[in-house]
Amino acid sequence: MDEATARSVLCDACSALYGKDLLVSAGGNVSIRFDNGILITPSGRNKGSLLPDDMVKITMEGKVSGKGKPSIEYKFHLALYERRSEINAVVHCHPIYCTALAVRGERLRSDLTPEGVILLGDVPNIPYRTPGSDELVEEVSKIYRSSAAIMESHGAVTQGRTMEEACNRMEELEFQAHLQLIVGNAVGLPREEVYRLRKK
């Protein structure tokens, strides 16, 4: 993917996530990998009003190339890209139901519906660390194999081979968190069915 296309895709994703109340105000950050590095949302900006030229270009070594100040979370985005070459998009949001679980320190159950099992897999909790800190980068790095995770007292993160996949996972994560808070201790799918679905 070339830079111009990546800027457009990232801008459209931010607008869509904001429109679904997954991104709120200046919170969260979204990035995309392209031919010559990554593009990430700028620091302190409302994600619903960004333009393609607002996205900040960073090399895989973490050097800012061009104008703009990247999100303070850019290091954990880079860490995920470094560990999985097939990942091309990372979405970090503070959606209300995911964040409710995050504040409670509760694990998200992805086994309540088939879609949760297929799109999310097992969803770990990342212990709270100060946003932007190297300690948070270290904790996020530990869950690099997971498609989605809850960040305790913070929010949620998803990753995908495409921006669409990463965004779909964030939307599904928020749906499952909402469902879990409604149904409480409802029985999930049988273990055999979870295994069958994960093999698809």
Q: Which of 73, 152, 171, 174 is catalytic?
A: 73
Does residue 61 carry a catalytic annotation?
A: no
Q: Write the Ramachandran bin of 31: left for phi over 0, alpha for psi from -120 to 50, otherwise beta.
A: beta
Cβ neighbours of residue 127 closer than 8 Å, sequence gap 6 or more: 139, 152
Q: Both tokens of residue 111? A: 């086994």
Contact by Cβ (8 Å): 66, 82: no
Contact by Cβ (8 Å): 117, 194: yes
The strand pairing partners of 40, in sequence order, are: 31, 56
Point out the residues that are catalytic.
73
